[in-house]
């Protein structure tokens, strides 16, 4: 590469045209440079579009987690679960697990790296809690024997999770990715890997409640 730069400098210094010098470059080298440059640009655009689509899908799923809000209201209207008074959480107090959907996240675990580092931390932290509390809710609904400490954790922490949920699907969450710069139509990524359709194959489907 250095010899090409040196040759170009010598050509221009001697009064030669840079276009004339460029015509000296072998066709295969010009074609390779064009392919590499175009391929890199296409890859960068595709990654950005996939990131926007993934964030949209996650945002839509989080917005649909109405069961978290329902559970929060229930916990606020009852006392703290206690073994001493046998005041345990009851199945009828729990929202349906379907009201806390997590399929988009579970289907895209391998794609979370598309997000920016700050978003990765927020999303993983939120879903880790959501899946944990969803498991507790599922067990209560099944009338399983749930340790008091787990019931108390749900009672204590569900309001924080509800607040965290609102901060994630709020209007500011997608603001750093302008959708005006790039098309995010389904055809834009030529078969991108983001799974935003719950009916698509789900590699973690067996782990859902």
Output the pLDDT for position 193.
Answer: 57
Gap between the Cα atoms of 182 and 196, Å rounded: 18
**95: region left, alpha or beta (phi > 0 left; psi from -120 to 50 alpha):** beta
Output the pLDDT for position 83.
Answer: 81
Q: Three-state SS string across 13-53, please? A: HCCCCHHHHHHHCCHHHHHHHHHHHHHHHHHHHHHHHHHHH
Query: For 60-64, 115-119, 192-196, which range has the lowest pLDDT when averaged over its residues?
Result: 192-196
Is residue 110 a contact partner of residue 125, using CB atoms and an 8 Å limit? Answer: no
- The pTM score is 0.68
pLDDT tens-place string over residues 123-164: 999 999 999 999 999 999 999 999 999 999 999 999 999 999
pLDDT over 90 (residue 5): no
Is residue 68 a contact partner of residue 127, using CB atoms and an 8 Å limit? Answer: no
Backbone CA torsion sign across 173, 176, 181, 182: negative
- Could you please report the per-residue DSSP string of 113-173? GGS-HHHHHHHHHHHHHHHHHHHHHHHHHTT----HHHHHHHHHHHHHHHHHHHHHHSTTT
pLDDT over 60 (residue 2): no
pLDDT tens-place string over residues 154-193: 999 999 999 999 988 766 665 545 444 444 444 433 444 5
pLDDT over 90 (residue 95): yes
- The strand pairing partners of 82, in sequence order, are 87
The more confidently predicted of residues 204 and 109 is: 109
Which percentage of the chain shows pLDDT scores above 70? 62
Is residue 94 a contact partner of residue 209, using CB atoms and an 8 Å limit? Answer: no
Output the pLDDT for position 24.
Answer: 61
Smallest CA-to-CA distance from 137 within 87, 105, 98 is with 98
pLDDT over 50 (residue 200): no
Q: If DSSP codes are grouped into helix, strand and coil, which group holds residue 201?
A: coil
116 phi and psi angles, rounded to 5 deg: -75, 155
pLDDT tens-place string over residues 9-24: 554 455 444 445 455 6
Gap between the Cα atoms of 147 and 89, Å rounded: 11
């Amino acid at each position: 590469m250095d010899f090409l730069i040196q040759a170009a400098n010598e050509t221009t210094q001697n009064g030669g045209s840079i276009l004339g010098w460029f015509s000296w470059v072998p066709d295969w080298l010009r074609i390779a440079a064009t392919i590499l440059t175009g391929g890199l640009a296409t890859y960068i655009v595709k990654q950005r579009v996939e990131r926007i689509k993934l964030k949209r899908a996650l945002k839509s799923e989080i917005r649909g987690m109405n069961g978290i809000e329902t559970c929060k209201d229930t916990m606020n209207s009852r006392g703290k679960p206690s073994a001493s008074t046998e005041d345990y959480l009851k199945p009828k107090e729990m929202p349906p697990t379907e009201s806390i959907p997590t399929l988009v996240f579970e289907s895209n675990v391998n794609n979370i790296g598309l997000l920016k580092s700050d978003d990765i931390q927020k999303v993983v932290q939120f879903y880790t809690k959501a899946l944990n509390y969803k498991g507790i809710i599922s067990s209560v609904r099944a009338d399983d024997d749930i340790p008091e400490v787990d019931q108390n954790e749900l009672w204590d922490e569900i309001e924080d999770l509800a607040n965290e949920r609102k901060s994630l699907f709020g209007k500011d969450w997608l603001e750093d990715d302008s959708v005006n710069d790039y098309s995010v139509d389904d055809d834009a990524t030529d078969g991108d890997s983001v799974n935003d359709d719950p009916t698509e194959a789900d590699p973690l489907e067996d782990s859902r409640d």
